Amino acid sequence: MNKNKHLLLWSSVGVFLLLVVAAWSENSNKEWRRIQKSASNAEGALDIHLRQVVNTNLNSADRCVSCHAGMAPGESELKGHAILAAHKPVVHQPADYGCTICHGGQGRATDKADAHGDVHFWPQPMLPMKYSNAGCGTCHTPLNVPNSDKLASAQQAFERLDCLACHRVGGRGGTLRPGGGGLEGPDLSNVGFKGYDIAWYDKHLAKATAVTEGPWKASFGAIDDVQRQALTTWLNTRVGSSKLVEAKAAFHSVGCMGCHKVSGVGGDAGPDLSRAGEKDPGLLDFKAVPGERNLSNWLKEHFRSPVATVPGSQMPAMGLSEAQIDLLTMYVLSLRRRDLPGSFLPKDRVQVLRFGAREFATDGATIFSAICAGCHGADGKGRRYPGTQAFPSIAGQDFLSLATDEFITETIQQGRPGRKMPGWANEAGLKPEEIQKVVAYLRQLGGNTATKPETTAPRWVKGDANVGQRLFAANCAGCHGAKGEGGEGPALNNKILLATATDTFLIETIKAGRRGTAMQGFESPSPTRAALAARELESIVSFIRTWETKK
Amino acid sequence: MSTPITQEHAALQTFRENLLAAPRRLLDATFRSGKPTTDRTRSTFVFGNVFLHLHAVRTHRWNLRWTTTMGLGIASTAAFLITLITGVLLMFYYKPYPDAAYDSIKDIHFVVPTGRFIRNIHRWAANVMVVAVLLHMARTFYTGAYRKPREFNWLIGMGLLVTTLGLSFTGYLLPWDQLAYWAITIGANIAQSPREVTDALNLTDNFDPGGFQRLLLLGSDVVGDEALIRFYLLHVMILPLALVMLMAVHFWRIRKDGGMVRPVDADQRLAPRSGETYPVFTEAPQKTYQLAAIVKGKTGVVGRGPENTVPSMPHLFYAELAVLMLTVLICVALSLVSDAPLKELANPAVPENPAKAPWYFLGLQEMVAFSAFMGGIGIPGIVLVGLGLIPFLDREEKGTGDWFGGPGGWPLVRRTIPFGFGIAILIEAYVIRFGWLREWFPSIPQLVITLINPGTLLTLAYALYSVWLVRRHNSTRAGALGLFTCFLCGFIVLTIIGTYFRGPNWVFYWSPADWPKH
Per-residue pLDDT tens for A199-251?
A: 888 888 888 888 877 777 777 888 888 888 889 888 888 887 889 999 999 99
CATH number listed for the domain at residues A243-355: 2.60.40.420
Beta bridge partners of B309: B60
Element (H, E) at B43: helix B39-47
Residues of chain A with CATH 2.60.40.420: 243-355
Residues of chain A with CATH 1.10.760.10: 148-238, 364-445, 465-549
Q: What is the mean pLDDT of residues A522-534?
A: 80
Query: What is the distance in angstroms between the Cα of B72 and the nearest Cα belonging to chain A?
Result: 15
Q: Is the pLDDT of residue B163 over 50?
A: yes
Distance from CA of B471 to the nearest CA of A (A): 43
Q: Inter-chain contact A114–B319, Cβ cutoff 8 Å?
A: no
- Choice between B101 and B344, residue whose per-residue pLDDT is larger: B101
Q: Residue A293: its chain B contacts at CB < 8 A?
A: none
Cα dihedral sign, B486-B487-B493-B496: negative
DSSP-derived 3-state class of residue A54: strand
Which residues of A fall within a CB distance of 8 Å from B350?
283, 285
- Does the pLDDT of residue B244 top 90, yes or no? yes
**Sequence letter at residue A188:** L
pLDDT band at B466 (very low <50, low <70, confident <90, very high): very high
Are A364 and A438 within 8 A, CB to CB?
yes
Mean pLDDT over residues A363-389, rounded? 88
Helix-strand-coil percent breakdown of chain A, rounded to 5?
50, 5, 45
> Shortest Cα distance from A7 to chain B (angstroms)?
6
Q: Nearest by CB to B336, which of A1, A2, A18?
A: A18
Superfamily of domain A465-549: Cytochrome c-like domain (1.10.760.10)
Q: Is A380 helix (H, G, I), strand (E, B) or coil?
A: coil
Contact B325 A2 (CB under 8 A): no
CB-CB neighbors (< 8 A) of A282 in chain B: 343-345
Q: What is the pTM of this model?
A: 0.75
Contact (CB<8Å) B315/A4? yes
- Name which of B106, B113, B322 is nearest A8 (Cβ-Cβ): B322
Which residues of B lie closer than 8 Å to A, measured between beta carbons? 64, 66, 106, 110-111, 113-114, 117, 177, 276-277, 310, 314-315, 318-319, 321-323, 325-326, 328-329, 332-333, 336, 342-345, 347, 350, 518
Per-residue model confidence (pLDDT) at position A186: 83
Q: Could you tell me the pLDDT band of residue B296, with boundaries at 50, 70 and 90?
A: low
- Do residues B343 and B353 touch, judged by C-beta distance below 8 A? no
Q: Which residues touch A347 (CB under 8 Å, ≥6 apart)?
A: A193
Confidence of residue B132 (pLDDT cuts 50, 70, 90): very high
For B6-48, how does the pLDDT look when each residue is reduced to its tens digit (9 = 90+)? Answer: 667 888 999 999 999 999 999 888 888 777 778 788 888 888 8
| Amino acid in the structure at residue B355 | A
Q: What is the pLDDT of residue B282?
A: 45
Does residue A288 surpass a pLDDT of 90?
Answer: no
Chain B contacts of A287, Cβ < 8 Å? 518
Contact call for A106 and B328, based on CB within 8 A? no
**Cα angle at A431 between A427 and A435, to 5 degrees?**
125
Q: Given this model, what pLDDT does residue A520 score?
A: 81
Neighbours of B44 (CB within 10 A): 17
Number of H helices, E strands in chain A: 25, 8
Q: Do residue A119 and residue B110 have CB atoms under 8 angstroms apart?
A: yes
- pLDDT: is B484 or A77 the higher one? B484
Relative orientation angle of helices B178-191 and B209-218, to the nearest 10 degrees: 150
* Residue B188 backbone phi and psi in degrees, to 5: -65, -35
Distance CA B63, CA B57 (A): 13
DSSP per position, B67-82: HHHTTHHHHHHHHHHH
All residues of chain B having their beta carbon less than 8 Å from the beta carbon of residue A106 are: 110-111
Shortest CA distance from A24: residue in chain B = B114
Average pLDDT, chain B: 86
In angstroms, the CA B399 to CA B145 distance is: 10
Identify the closest residue of chain A to B113 by CA–CA distance. Answer: A26
Closest in B113, B314, B328 to A26, CB measured: B113
Distance from CA of A290 to the nearest CA of B (A): 12
Taking only the tens place, the pLDDT of each residue in A311-323 is 888 888 888 999 9
Domains and CATH numbers, chain B: 47-263+311-352 (1.20.810.10), 358-518 (no CATH)
Give A451's DSSP letter: P
Asked if the Cβ–Cβ distance from B333 to A14 is below 8 Å, we say yes
Give A421→chain B minimum CA distance, Å: 31
* Model pLDDT, residue B281: 46
Is A189:A169 a contact under the CB 8 Å cutoff?
A: yes
What pLDDT sits at residue A199? Answer: 86
State ipTM: 0.80
Q: A514, A505 in Cβ contact below 8 A?
A: no
CA-nearest residue to B313 within chain A is A1
What's the fold here for domain A148-238? Cytochrome Bc1 Complex; Chain D, domain 2 (1.10.760)
CATH of span A364-445:
1.10.760.10
Residue of B nearest to A23 (CA): B114
Specify the pairing of strand A168-169 against strand A60-62. Answer: unpaired
Which residues of chain A have a CB within 8 Å of the CB of B106? Answer: 122-123
* Contact across the interface for A11 and B326, Cβ inside 8 Å: yes
Distance in Å, alpha carbon of A63 to nearest chain B alpha carbon: 11
Q: What are phi and psi of A8, to 5 degrees?
A: -65, -45
DSSP H helical ranges for B174-224: 178-191, 194-200, 209-218
Asked if the model's pLDDT at residue B1 lies above 60, the reply is no
Q: How far apart are CA B342 and CA A325, in angstroms?
A: 33
Would the CB atoms of B319 and A4 count as touching at under 8 Å?
yes
In angstroms, the CA A253 to CA B175 distance is 44
Q: Verify whether the Cβ–Cβ distance A14 to B314 is below 8 Å.
A: no
E runs forming strands in B193-336: 309-311
Which residue in the set A11, A282, A285 is minimally distant from B329, CB to CB? A11
